[in-house]
Amino acid sequence: MPKLVPISGKRMAKLLLKLGFVLVRSKGSHYFYMSKSDGSTATIPIHKNEDLSPGLLKQILNDIGLSVEEYDKLRRGK
């Protein structure tokens, strides 16, 4: 199992768009995304270019149904 490597909120938002999520709304620095296919949602805080904490990143991955292995492949661009 690969190690969970943190990324910024901006980069996570780009990965969600790649996965078929759409931006539903935003409030302040929090962006709300919804999946076109199954309706799952994710909230991404975008604070400057700071990395998401490991706990928050794990929660987002659980919300969108993505394993750490799949996340690692997407993050690397493979």
Q: What is the CA radius of gyration of the chain?
A: 12
Q: What is the pLDDT of residues 32-74, one digit of tens each?
A: 999 999 999 999 999 988 999 999 999 999 999 999 999 999 9
58 vs 64: CA distance, rounded Å: 10
Domains of the chain plus CATH, in order, are 9-76 (3.30.920.30)
Q: What is the pLDDT of residues 20-41, one digit of tens each?
A: 999 999 999 999 999 999 999 9
Give start and end residues of each alpha helix (H) in 1-78: 9-18, 54-64, 68-76
51 vs 1: CA distance, rounded Å: 21
pTM here is 0.90
